A and B are shown apart, each in its own frame.
Chain A
Amino acid sequence: MTNEDKLNELLKQHGIEMEEDKYSALENIPQKAEGCEKLMEIYYTLKNTVDMEYPYWYNRVWQENDGDITIVRRAKAMAAALSHLTPTIQPYERLVMNKTRNVRGAFPFPWVTASFFNAQAEALMAEADAPAESEADAVSIVGDGGGNVTKSYGNIISIAKKFGMRKEEIPVLVRVSKPWDGNSVEELSNKYAQYTPDYALEQNIMESVLCMFDSYCIPQGREVMNYYLPLQYGWDGIIELCNQRITETMGEADSDGILGMGRGYYYVAMKILAQGMSKWCQNYADRAHYLASIETDPAFKKNYEDIEAVMSHIAHKAPSTFRQALQLTLCCHYGVVNEDPQSGQSIGRLGQVLQPFYEKDIADGITTEEEVIELLEFYRIKITSIECFASAGVTGGVLSGNTFNNLSLGGLNRDGLTAVTPLEYLIIEAGMRCRTTQPTLSILYDEKTPEDFLMKAASCTKLGMGYPAWMNNQDGINFMMLNYGPEGMNLQDARAWCLGGCLESSPGCFLPLNYNGKTYWIPGGAGPTAGSGVHFVGLPKVLELVLTNGYDHRMKRQILPAHNKELDSLETIQNEWVNYLKMIINALNKVNNLQMDIWRKHCMPIVNSLLKPDCFTKGRDLGMMGGRYNATINFESCGTITFINSLASLYKNVFKDKKYTLEEMLDAMLHNFGFKTSYETGVFSPDFREATDLAGKYEQIFADCINAPKFGNADWEADQFLKWYEDTMFDLTRSYESYYGKPLYMCQISVSTHGPQGFVTLADAAGRLAGTTYSDGSVSAAAGTDKNGIYAIFQSATVYDHGTQQNAQMNLKLHPSAVKGIQGTRKLLDIVRSYMRKGGFHVQFNIVDSNTLRAAQAKPENYRDLMVRVAGFTQYWCEIGKPIQDEVIYRTEYDN
């Protein structure tokens, strides 16, 4: 008898419970399916690859249809591009299709942004003509940064420091980009932006990185897919519906003199698209048929035959099995992410959408739980392989290479009862077995969520991949009612919300799926992008400019107009900060509105305009407010807590204790408190300091800044500024209108922008040194400043109502020993639950040993599959930049 058995026996005698952790002990989790193992090996080996197949066909058909109605022309171009993609099927794959013919493929969208390629045309051609580099160079770079192609090598040209393009495709890139010279969304909107009164100011703001990027960079995403129409009707059914609607609407205004006539064109466009989608599916069926015909291994042959059966069915008809339904949702997902450069195109509550199909298959005995888990594992690999091609700044600086295809679980159904389905348990199980970065999982925590489901989710969080993250369902519903109530949202629709992108609460609705003789109300997205407005304004940088009277000491020029105020009180500083922020938003909002307006006129969503309710009902595309809810455009902030801590220190050291004058404080900041800057040292960790000869002069003020009250310690002296900030921003953001004529609101996620925006910001009054990262998220403590533990952070974070904004972001790092065993799972759930009950919107965990992270930083090649949670998403450690790595390592680790 082992000690364990003896102990359990004795415990039983004493009536004490000590359950074994069967669920989240790695050794007890079944291996991923064999095919998934093989596909992950392929994934780890392959590089991000850009090719020109899609853009070539889009461009060709677009040009051929010069003069046609824009929406029809675009639908033709997209249908042609999708249906000409070479269908590739990897051995072992059970779910098929892809963005491009490559596994980790992406492509440029010159119609959205072409200036880079056109400006670089000669250089690119020269690079393509240059002889290949030596093999040795090629090898050294391949091992660097996972799938990123950070430098050119061999016959591969690096684009955006992330993607590789084969040299022979460069001439195609150059040629396809040429026609868009001057009339891509980027260039057209630049042209009209110059008419905005504050254009010069806007240029300053962008050049100083006060704001991180433009709306046209990723015009769609941060929203939730809606799979209802194809699941209900299939492509043939949709084509039939289009025919009916064309007959009903063509030539009729139906009392709408502006948009009424557009309906006919819309349905024509949708019909063309549905035909293209159908053809695209059929191409895969044909490819599978061919592969089956030449395959000699019976197992592979059978696999190809199964794929052919699924693909030829969904090429036309509504799905009649779970596998067909899952494959069809994947097809729609690829269709949408191929419309524009996108991130955050989210899957939504898939386990509720597909439950009817799962339920029937299980009841009919045509599949088993294990088979479904396997399919869901394959699904994870497909979603993980979705890449986004945008500029280097966007891809690395904002996204860290992730595309945030978020899958939400839990929440409430249309009747206000728990929405958890049996299929959702399997989605978590697949996430535990097949541990990949995407889709990241989000639990919509509600008090009505079954405890065993929460325990299952906590068991998964414990494994350390950073998912599922936990979101507060009631906060989400409250935000929906607050933000979309004016558009008529009722409580039922509010319950259909979920996460679009890493953390963007997005509106939804329930639609009646008729299947198997029953009606199921399935949730799905019901609005356009919830994240194209004013992007990532570095709040600490704005404060810096208040203190420097608008002068940027890094760029050595005046960025904002001098305010020339005597900053004699903290209130004055706060007021000037608000004034500057208003000035910034005013300038940015107009330009971003123009970008999005030109996008919707020239590059309107097509696939998404078919899928999103109520576009098809209204006969109107998503850009023209065909969606049910349209107040989705927002203002994104970055560096909240870094900013709050600066205010707290200014208050304490300059105005309350009057230990220093503001001039002395500014002098210390400009001299980086006498330390070398991270630009000089190359180290971005908040902990690293190297003194210069000046250090002695600033040692006392530096210590006082470091020791000033900090957010995250349940200290009102600091936390009061968060309350002030949130209250102020609520009204401020809502005083600006989006291109939909709806008020903006605040989106408080940093994604990865806290790295680059920290980079451009001087030392601050809280003792953060120049160039180091900002605090991540919006309510995470600044690294190393939380001295009173997790409960104190929770207290600080909830000094305002999280239901008033789209999100609030909390990252915590736990040592694995803190949540060991089944008791540990309960304890993890205890902290999640208590934070939710306090009103916290979101919490996510890195459950990893800092020593592991340091080892992985030193030898990334040994940690290819190590994942960490950054600011709302999970990414492979080796694929994120060093400043963000440093920040993750330095976060306080709780290991009590």
Chain B
Amino acid sequence: MAPKGIIFDVQAFSVHDGPGCRTTIFFAGCPLRCRWCSNPENFALKAHLMFAGRVCKWSSGCRACENKCTHNSLTFNEDGPQVSWDICQECTTFECTQTCAANALRVCGKEYSVEDVMTILRRDFCHWGNDGGVTFSGGDPMLQPQFLKAVLQACKKMQIHTAIETSAYIPQSTFLDIMPLVDFAFIDVKNMDDTQHKAGTGVSNNLILNNIATLKTSRWNGRLVLRTPIIGEYNDSEDNALKTIDFMKENGLYEINLLPFHRLGQTKWEQLGLSYDYATGGDVSTEKMQKLQSIYLDNNILCYLGDKTPF
């Protein structure tokens, strides 16, 4: 049977996720649990509820979701609907979302067939210009390897430029099986220190670093750009930069993209009933970002800040 996948968003005219204009497909599910994550709705590999209190029309008199939940999760007080997340996390029916015209209660994640994805890409192909293509992001698309591979194969058949954003926290055989179908990769290296890596993301960096090293010695000839979200007091030290540089040099890597910490994902944590550790803290000054950039540059590593990239 043809594999199917859970996708939670498709973004057109995506201009910061690889070369040129792109369509970015966000896969559900991620093996990491980064405490600063800006897409926490992708943690789970299934359709799930989100609740955006900010757009809820309760305060202007809307009561559309009252008595709609069949699982005794939604309760109501003067602030509006209250979600019992332990119940909602198990939900598969989402009755409450069906009357919500404000899109405050909504289902995140939908099942797609390979053909569904290719219909979108075929439609978008003419819009990418010379350099663009498709980017698979998430979450981590590698968490749905069969589906991803089938989609990538279909892309290659249509001569579409493919890019991926992955944590590379994937069994090596899977990783090496998929990467030959990828032309351009962003791989996140969040901390060179394993203990710190575990503390920030919940997993060890051994597999990640090992996958990168192995990829570079394989016959893969795509372009690899490392990506590091710079989180204040976590991975913004010069020491971490120098260690990353060592690693890059050992493995013949020469491009890294440093992304300054932002809080754009904060409301999503709230919408999922999760607590967000970075409501305060984590900020990095522009000067600090430039300092880190200069360290990379002084070591002959091409280091791009934020969206100022050559692609």
Q: Which of B20, B126, B303 has its CB near the most chain A CB atoms (within 10 A)?
A: B126
Known: A14-B302, A789-B11, A820-B307. 9 other contacts (CB 8 A): A10-B301, A11-B302, A691-B57, A691-B62, A791-B13, A795-B123, A823-B311, A827-B129, A834-B128
A830 B302 Cβ-Cβ under 8 A: no
- Interface status of B281 (Cβ within 8 A of chain A): no
Residues on B with beta carbons closer than 8 Å to the beta carbon of A14: 254, 302
**Docked complex: B51-89 residues within 8 A CB-CB of A:** 57, 60-64, 66
CB-based nearest B residue for A894:
B13
- Interface status of A479 (Cβ within 8 A of chain B): no
A833 B303 Cβ-Cβ under 8 A: no
A896 B297 Cβ-Cβ under 8 A: no
Complex alpha-carbon distance, A792 and B126, angstroms: 12
- Interface status of B44 (Cβ within 8 A of chain A): no
Residues on B with beta carbons closer than 8 Å to the beta carbon of A834: 126-129
- Indicate which residue in A11, A695, A837 contacts B61 across the interface (CB closer than 8 Å): A695
Determine the main DSSP class of A at the interface with B.
helix
Residues on B with beta carbons closer than 8 Å to the beta carbon of A820: 307-308
Complex alpha-carbon distance, A819 and B11, angstroms: 16
Residues on B with beta carbons closer than 8 Å to the beta carbon of A252: none
**Docked complex: A690-747 residues within 8 A CB-CB of B:** 690-692, 695-696, 699-700, 702-703, 705-707, 714
- Interface status of B266 (Cβ within 8 A of chain A): no
Given A690-B60, A896-B14, answer yes or no on A10-B300 (Cβ-Cβ < 8 Å): yes
- Indicate which residue in A16, A707, A788 contacts B302 across the interface (CB closer than 8 Å): A16
Residues on B with beta carbons closer than 8 Å to the beta carbon of A835: 127
Complex alpha-carbon distance, A834 and B23, angstroms: 14
**Docked complex: B275-311 residues within 8 A CB-CB of A:** 290, 293-294, 297-298, 300-304, 307-311
CB-defined A-B contacts under 8 Å, sample of 19: A7-B293, A7-B304, A18-B309, A689-B62, A695-B64, A699-B64, A702-B64, A702-B101, A703-B99, A789-B13, A818-B15, A820-B307, A824-B15, A831-B21, A833-B129, A834-B127, A837-B126, A896-B11, A896-B12
- Indicate which residue in B101, B123, B124, B132 contacts A703 across the interface (CB closer than 8 Å): B101
B12 A7 Cβ-Cβ under 8 A: no
Residues on A with beta carbons closer than 8 Å to the beta carbon of B100: 703
Residues on A with beta carbons closer than 8 Å to the beta carbon of B249: none
- Interface status of A817 (Cβ within 8 A of chain B): yes
Given A690-B61, A830-B128, answer yes or no on A699-B302 (Cβ-Cβ < 8 Å): no
A7 B303 Cβ-Cβ under 8 A: yes
B310 A11 Cβ-Cβ under 8 A: yes
Complex alpha-carbon distance, A826 and B19, angstroms: 11
- Interface status of B166 (Cβ within 8 A of chain A): no
Q: Which of B17, B21, B98, B99 has its CB near the most chain A CB atoms (within 10 A)?
A: B21
- Interface status of A767 (Cβ within 8 A of chain B): yes
Q: Which residues of A contact B (CB under 8 A)?
A: 3, 6-7, 10-11, 14, 16-18, 689-692, 695-696, 699-700, 702-703, 705-707, 714, 767, 788-792, 794-795, 817-821, 823-824, 826-827, 829-831, 833-835, 837-838, 894, 896
A800 to chain B, nearest CB (A): 17
Complex alpha-carbon distance, A487 and B24, angstroms: 49
**Docked complex: B158-202 residues within 8 A CB-CB of A:** none
B302 A791 Cβ-Cβ under 8 A: no
- Interface status of B10 (Cβ within 8 A of chain A): yes
- Indicate which residue in B300, B302, B310 contacts A823 across the interface (CB closer than 8 Å): B310
A-B contact count (CB 8 A): 131
Given A695-B61, A827-B129, A830-B21, answer yes or no on A788-B12 (Cβ-Cβ < 8 Å): yes
Complex alpha-carbon distance, A823 and B57, angstroms: 40
Complex alpha-carbon distance, A714 and B10, angstroms: 13
B298 A6 Cβ-Cβ under 8 A: yes
Residues on B with beta carbons closer than 8 Å to the beta carbon of A691: 57, 60-63
- Interface status of B16 (Cβ within 8 A of chain A): yes
Complex alpha-carbon distance, A17 and B19, angstroms: 12
Complex alpha-carbon distance, A18 and B127, angstroms: 22
A791 B290 Cβ-Cβ under 8 A: no
Q: Which of B13, B63, B308 has its CB near the most chain A CB atoms (within 10 A)?
A: B13
Residues on A with beta carbons closer than 8 Å to the beta carbon of B123: 714, 791-792, 795
A788 B10 Cβ-Cβ under 8 A: yes
- Indicate which residue in B13, B57, B254, B308 contacts A689 across the interface (CB closer than 8 Å): B57
B193 to chain A, nearest CB (A): 25
Complex alpha-carbon distance, A127 and B136, angstroms: 69
CB-based nearest B residue for A826:
B129
Complex alpha-carbon distance, A834 and B129, angstroms: 8
Instruction: Report the 6 A-B pairs with minimum CB-CB distance, sorted nearest first.
Output: A691-B61, A789-B12, A830-B129, A18-B310, A699-B64, A834-B127
B118 to chain A, nearest CB (A): 14
Residues on A with beta carbons closer than 8 Å to the beta carbon of B293: 3, 7
Residues on A with beta carbons closer than 8 Å to the beta carbon of B16: 896
B98 A791 Cβ-Cβ under 8 A: no
A698 to chain B, nearest CB (A): 9
Query: Would you give the 0/1 interface string for B1-36, flagging 1 where the beta carbon is closer than 8 Å to chain A?
Result: 000000000111111110011011000000000000
A211 to chain B, nearest CB (A): 32
B112 to chain A, nearest CB (A): 13
CB-based nearest A residue for B303:
A7
Residues on B with beta carbons closer than 8 Å to the beta carbon of A705: 101
Residues on B with beta carbons closer than 8 Å to the beta carbon of A794: 127
- Indicate which residue in A17, A821, A827, A831 contacts B308 across the interface (CB closer than 8 Å): A821
Residues on B with beta carbons closer than 8 Å to the beta carbon of A696: 63-64, 66
